[in-house]
Amino acid sequence: MIDKRLALACLLLATATPLHAHLLKVFAFAEGERIEGRAYFAGGARAKGAAVEVLAPDGRVLAALRTDDDGEFSYQANAAIDHRIRVDSGDGHVAEWTVPATELEIAAPAAGDPDRPAAPTESTPEATPAETAAASVPATESPGDLEVLIERAVARQVRPLREQLVAYEEQVRLHDILGGLGYILGLAGLAAWWQASRRRGR
Partner 1 sequence: MSARLLAERAPIAHIPDGVLAAPVLVTGAVVTAGAVLVGLRQLDYERIPQAAVLAAAFFVASLIAVPLGPSSVHLLLNGLMGLVLGWAAAPAILVALALQAVFFGFGGLLVLGVNTMNMAVPALVCAALFRAPLRRHPGRGAFLIGAGAGALGVLLTGVLIAVALAASGSALAPAAKIILLTYLPLALVEAVVTGAAVTFLGRVAPEILCPPEATGHDR
| Segment (H or E) for 6 | helix 2-15
Q: Which is nearer to partner 1, 9 or 133 (CB)?
A: 9
Three-state DSSP class for residue 159? helix
Site residues for partner 1, window 144-163 (CB under 8 A)?
A: none
> Could you tell me the smallest distance in angstroms from the CB atom of residue 48 to partner 1?
7
Contact 62, 133 (CB under 8 A): no
53 binds partner 1 per the rule CB under 8 A: no
> Could you tell me the smallest distance in angstroms from the CB atom of residue 96 to partner 1?
8
Q: Which is nearer to partner 1, 70 or 176 (CB)?
A: 176
Can you tell me which of 94, 101, 111, 166 binds partner 1, judged by CB under 8 A? 94
Listed residue (61, 77, 67, 81) closest to 27, CA to CA? 67
Can you tell me which of 34, 48, 152, 159 binds partner 1, judged by CB under 8 A? 48
- Total number of residues shown for the chain: 202
Three-state DSSP class for residue 42? coil
Q: Which is nearer to partner 1, 100 or 179 (CB)?
A: 179
Listed residue (63, 79, 89, 74) closest to 28, CA to CA? 74
For residue 140, give the DSSP letter: I
Candidate segments 2-10, 56-64, 131-139, 154-162, binder of partner 1 by CB under 8 A: 2-10
Q: Which is nearer to partner 1, 116 or 173 (CB)?
A: 173
For residue 26, give the DSSP letter: E
Site residues for partner 1, window 116-145 (CB under 8 A)?
A: none
Query: Residue 40 forms beta bridges with which residues?
Result: 25, 46
**Residues 30, 35, 36, 42, CA torsion sign:** positive
Instruction: List contacts with partner 1 (CB under 8 A).
Output: 1-2, 5-6, 9, 12-13, 16, 18-24, 41, 43, 45, 48-49, 89-96, 170, 172, 176-177, 179-181, 183-185, 187-188, 191-192, 195-196, 199
